[in-house]
Amino acid sequence: MAIRARLKDLAAMEDKFVSGHGLCPGCGIPLMLRMVLRATEHPLIAVNATGCLEVCSSGFPYTAWKVPWMHNAFENAGATAAGVEAAYKALKRRGKLPGGDKKIKIVAFGGDGGTYDIGLQSLSGAMERGHDIVYICYDNQSYANTGGQRSGATPFGASATTSPAGSKIPGKLQWRKNLTEIMAAHGIYAAQASVSHWKDLFQKAQKAIEIDGPAFINVLIPCPTEWKTKIEDGVQLAKIAVESKVWPLYEVENGKYKINYYPKKEVDVTEWLKPQGRFSHMFKPGNEWMIEEYRKKVLEEWDRLVRLTKV
Query: Which residues bind to other proteins, rule: CB under 8 A?
Result: 43-45, 47, 54-55, 58-61, 63, 65-73, 75-76, 78-91, 93-94, 96-99, 102, 104, 121-122, 124-126, 128-129
Least CB distance to other proteins at residue 235 (A): 27
Least CB distance to other proteins at residue 311 (A): 29
Least CB distance to other proteins at residue 130 (A): 10
* Cβ distance to other proteins smaller for residue 73 or 306: 73
Least CB distance to other proteins at residue 85 (A): 8
* Cβ distance to other proteins smaller for residue 98 or 286: 98
- Reported residue count of the chain is 311
Name which of 110, 84, 23 is nearest 58 in CA terms.
Answer: 23
HSE of 169, CA atoms in CB hemisphere, 13 A: 12
Residue 157 — left, alpha, or beta (φ > 0 → left; ψ -120 to 50 → alpha)?
Answer: left
Q: What whole-number distance in Å separates Cα of residue 253 and Cα of residue 234?
A: 29
By DSSP bridging, strand 189-194 and strand 133-139 are unpaired
* Cβ distance to other proteins smaller for residue 61 or 286: 61
* Cβ distance to other proteins smaller for residue 36 or 193: 36
Name which of 283, 273, 260 is nearest 155 in CA terms.
Answer: 273
Least CB distance to other proteins at residue 184 (A): 19
Q: What is the DSSP letter of 114?
A: I
* Cβ distance to other proteins smaller for residue 74 or 138: 74
By DSSP bridging, strand 69-71 and strand 133-139 are unpaired
Least CB distance to other proteins at residue 89 (A): 5
Name which of 308, 44, 281, 66 is nearest 156 in CA terms.
Answer: 281
Least CB distance to other proteins at residue 191 (A): 23
Q: What whole-number distance in Å separates Cα of residue 70 and Cα of residue 77?
A: 9
Q: What whole-number distance in Å separates Cα of residue 279 and Cα of residue 274?
A: 7
8-to-5, 13, 35, 103 alpha-carbon distances in Å: 9, 9, 13, 27
